[in-house]
């Protein structure tokens, strides 16, 4: 039988097969030379170093694939092997899939590492990206291996439909058992990719909890409170919460302080003094935005005062408290010097005692300014109606 197979091979067939295999080897060598030169040129440029790494990952599988294609075509050029073309095609496909899997796994591993070290290092999520990197590499590698394995099994004639169905049922059972964990897992991915909440941001939840984002993990997010306590909240609950991010889109924020002065005040003078104090505080307080001019806006005629807002600009959430602290002290000191009065609510209550004598009780919230309030609210005793009453 072997003699008959050899007899069918002519010199032309041998030359064709040898030429095809030689051409494949030559192309592989030329590709290797070109790849080395390209990598050397790319590595000399810092921005193109990643492209050189990609070439390094795919060159070995590519060389083997070129030789494999040449060997496959050479065998098909020999008449005795044409009857086994289907077998050779399956073997070739399996080997090509193995080489592709090897190349993809290497490329994705180095690609993720490059992203974390270059792009991710400039992001506030660098710590989280470094934490996610090993798991992401393993997850992608497992997915690629599973898909490649299914292709190989299909080429070997093994029915993969029952296997896929079984995996689907098993996956459904696992998903139902780990529903809460998977929900938090995908919520964490959504939080990371959305970018609205980042590590280092100061956030406040709708439940009143507030602090700095310390870590965004696969299942939970850790929030460090100002008291240095740690809040651990599942990602699913965080994704469903209303979150105020004081660092997004910028860490700078406006600072509003609500104040009021008595109706007898000169409002132009009050505005001038208040803005001067505010500007001085911003110039002397660390954490205030340089070049920002504070402003004052009168808002309403209130019961005891004419109210207004003073607006500052701080570099961050904690810096806001320092600005308010210094401003309140400096403003009260300046108001006392300028004679600007901050009024307070007061109420006079009149009642009749058992001896049918009327008395007056003055209720107020503060001790200062009682005299002026008493003078404004005192009613002549002879004008009082008979019987106790409150005014």
The encoded tokens of residue 367 equal 């001790």
Between CA 258 and CA 274 the distance in angstroms is 12
Burial class (CB in 10 A: 0-12, 13-18, 19+), 319: buried
The encoded tokens of residue 19 equal 């030429």
Most confident of 180-194, 198-212, 299-313: 299-313
pLDDT higher than threshold 60 for residue 91? yes
pLDDT for 275-285, tens place per residue? 999 999 999 99
Between CA 225 and CA 37 the distance in angstroms is 54
pLDDT higher than threshold 70 for residue 367? no
Q: How confident is the model at residue 386 (pLDDT cuts 50, 70, 90)?
A: very low
pLDDT score recorded for residue 47:
59
- Name the residue with higher pLDDT: 110 or 243: 243
Q: Which of 194, 198, 105, 197 is nearest to 143 (CA)?
A: 105
Enumerate the β-bridge partners of residue 245: 203
Between CA 248 and CA 200 the distance in angstroms is 11
pLDDT score recorded for residue 6:
55
pLDDT for 200-234, tens place per residue? 889 999 888 899 998 888 788 999 998 899 999 99
- Long-range contacts from 305-308, C-beta under 8 angstroms, 24+ separation: 305/260, 305/261, 305/262, 305/263, 305/342, 305/343, 306/260, 306/261, 306/262, 306/263, 306/265, 306/267, 307/258, 307/259, 307/260, 308/258, 308/259, 308/260, 308/261, 308/270, 308/274
The arrangement of strands across the sheet holding 306-314 comes to 253-261, 306-314, 295-301
pLDDT for 150-159, tens place per residue? 888 888 878 7
The encoded tokens of residue 3 equal 């003699």
pLDDT score recorded for residue 61:
86
């Amino acid at each position: 039988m072997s003699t008959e197979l050899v007899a069918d091979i002519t010199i032309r067939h041998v030359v064709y097969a040898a030429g095809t295999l030689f051409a494949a080897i030559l192309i592989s060598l030329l590709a290797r030379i070109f790849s080395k030169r390209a990598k050397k040129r790319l590595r000399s440029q810092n921005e193109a170093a990643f492209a050189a790494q990609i070439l390094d990952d795919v060159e070995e599988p590519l060389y083997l694939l070129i030789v494999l294609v040449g060997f496959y075509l050479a065998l098909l050029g020999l008449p005795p092997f044409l009857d086994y073309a289907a077998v050779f095609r399956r073997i070739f496909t399996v080997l090509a899939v193995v080489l592709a899997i090897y190349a993809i796994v290497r490329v994705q591993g180095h690609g993720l590492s490059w992203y974390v070290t270059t792009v991710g290092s400039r992001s506030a999520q660098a710590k989280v990206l470094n934490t996610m990197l090993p798991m992401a590499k393993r997850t992608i590698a497992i997915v690629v291996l599973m898909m490649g394995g299914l292709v190989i099994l299909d080429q070997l004639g093994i029915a993969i439909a029952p296997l896929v169905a079984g995996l689907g049922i098993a996956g459904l059972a696992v998903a139902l058992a780990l529903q809460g964990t998977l929900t938090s897992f995908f919520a964490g991915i959504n939080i990371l990719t959305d970018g609205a909440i980042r590590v280092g941001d100061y956030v406040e939840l709708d439940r009143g909890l507030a602090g700095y984002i310390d870590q965004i993990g696969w299942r939970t997010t850790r929030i460090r409170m100002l008291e240095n306590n740690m809040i651990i909240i599942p990602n699913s609950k965080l994704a469903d919460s209303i979150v105020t991010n004081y660092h997004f889109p910028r860490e700078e924020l406006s600072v509003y302080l609500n104040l009021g002065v008595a109706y007898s005040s000169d409002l132009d003078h009050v505005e001038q003094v208040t803005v001067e104090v505010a500007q001085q505080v911003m110039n002397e307080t660390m954490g205030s935005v340089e070049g920002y001019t504070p402003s004052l806006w009168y808002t309403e005629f209130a019961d005891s005062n004419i109210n207004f807002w003073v607006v500052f600009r701080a570099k961050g959430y904690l810096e806001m408290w320092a600005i308010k602290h210094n401003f309140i002290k400096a403003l009260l000191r300046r108001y006392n010097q300028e004679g600007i009065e901050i009024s307070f609510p007061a109420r006079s209550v009149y009642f009749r005692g058992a001896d049918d004598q009327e008395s007056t009780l003055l209720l107020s919230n503060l001790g200062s300014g009682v005299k002026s309030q008493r003078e404004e609210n005192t009613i002549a005793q002879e004008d009082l109606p008979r019987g106790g009453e409150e005014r």
